[in-house]
Structure 1
C-alpha cells in the first residue's frame, strides 16, 4: 500500500512542519493562491514536496517582515512548479529553518517551533510545545526540541547585534509555561515522603533547565519543592532544614556562580531525630559545576535523563528513564 507522502501530505502535517496553524495555511491558499497543485478527490488538499517548498519560502519572507501578498508573489516565482524528481517530504527529522541556526540534524518539530518563535506567534508555540510533550514525553521534548531551539535563538541573538532578544524572551516564557503545566501531576509517592528541593544557587538567574528537571520528576510522580532562580544561601539553608529533602538539586549555569562551599554545606546538613539523622544527596546540576571532583555527598549528573534516574533510585523507583 503506498504511503501518504506518495500523494502528498495533509494540511495539518504541513502546518506542524512549518510551525503555523492549519487555518493560516488554508488562508494563504484562498487569499494568495499558495496552494497545492493537486487535491485528493478534487476537494482535500494534499501538499507535494514542491508545494511545501513554496510554503517554506512564504514563511521565511513573512517572518522577515515582507507583507503576505508580496511574499506570496515572490514564493510562487521561486517555486513556480514542483520538480518531478523532488524526494518525499521527511517526516522524522528536518534541516534548519526560519533563519535560525538550528544545524543540519534536528527534529522536524524544532523547525516549526523556531518559525513560530521568530514570528512571535505565541498561540502556535503553545500548541507545538503541548503536542511535543504529549507525543515524546518530557525528556525527549526538552533535549531534542526545546533546548536546540533555545540554543539557536541564543546564537542568532549573539550574532545579530542584540536583535531577536524579544524572540528569546517569548520562547523562554512559553517553554517555562509548558514545563510548569507538565509538572502538575498526581504524586506516586505519599505526600509525607521527603521531597526533592530544587534551587538555583545565589546569583544564578537561569532556571529553565531546573524547571525541566522539576517537570521530569513530577512526570514520574516524585515530590518536589521548586524555589527557582537566585535563592539566597540563608533561604536555601532554611528550606533544606524545614523540608528534610531526600535530594537537593543546585543549578549553576556558569562557573562564576558555582558555589562549592554552599554545596558541601547542604550535603552535610542533617535532620531527623537523634540517632537516625539523615543528610540529602546534592545534585550539582548545570555546566557551572564542571572541572572539579564532586565532594562527598554530591553527584554531578551529565544531563536531565541521568538526573531523573539518580533521584528516582532514591525512592526505590527504576533509575532508567524510558526512551521515546
Structure 2
C-alpha cells in the first residue's frame, strides 16, 4: 500500500510540474560521419551544449556519429526531407544540390587556414551561393574545420607519375574527380564509410582527405603512405534543415546561430592546432609521412581551371579565383 502511495504521489508531482508550464525538451538529430573521437564529434558536443544553454534547455541536440544514421550524401538528402536536423560535411558534398559549390574544391585556392577562414567567412561570391541554399532545403549556420586534403595510399606517391598505376577513391564531386584524373589516378566513387574496407581489399589503392579525417578514420592503417600535398582546402559547413529552421522563433534562431559560431571557433582552433600531433601519432603507429615537391602536382591540375570554366562559366570561376587571389595577397602564408 505504501509503495502504491509513493507511486501515485510521484505521478502527482510530475503532473504538477508539467502543468505549471515546464516545457518538454525537443530533440534535434545531428548526423555526421566522423568517429566519436574525432574533431567533428568534439565540435558537435560543444554545439549541442551551447544550443541547450542558449535555449534554456528547451532543445536537446542528439548526436549520431560515424554514419549511424546516414553517409554524407544521404544525410544531406535527409536534411532536405526533414529526417535529420543538422549535419556537417565537406562543401563539395552539398554540391549535388547546388552545383556551383563544386568550385570551392578547385585545387590550391588557398595556402593557409587563415586564408581559408577569410574565404568562407567573407568571399562575396561564396556567401551569395550559400544564400541560395534555403530554397534547396537547408542553410549554412557556420563553417567548421577539417583542413587541407592530402593522400593516403598503399603504395608510395612521390610524383604524379606514381598515380598512373593507382585507383583513388573520391566522393561524388566533379572537381575532386577532375583533379584526381588530371594527376593521373583512376577514380572510384564511394561513400567514406566504405573506404577502409575497400582499401583493405585492394578495391582502391587509397583516398584523399584532410589529416584530421585520415587520423580519425584510421585510413593510415590500410594505406600507410601519407603524402601531404594539401591540394584542396576542405572545411565543413554546418547545415540545418530549412524545415527545422522555420519552426524556431526568431530568438531561438539567434541562439542556434550563436551556438554554431562558437562551435566553429572551437573546431577551427582544435583542428589547426592538432595536425602536427596527429601526424606524429600516425608516424608512431607506422605511417610513412612525406611532403612531396608540390610543383608537379600544381602543374598536373592546371587544366582543371579551364575545365571548370567550360562547365560552370568563366564568370563564376573567375569570381571565386579573384576572391581567393585577393585573400592570398592580403594574408600571405607564413
TM-score grouping bracket, smaller chain normalisation: under 0.3
TM-score (norm 2): 0.26
Query: Which has the larger Rg?
Result: 1
Bigger fraction of residues in strand: 2
TM-score (norm 1): 0.26
Q: Which has the higher contact order (CA 8 A, sep 6+)?
A: 2
Bigger fraction of residues in helix: 2
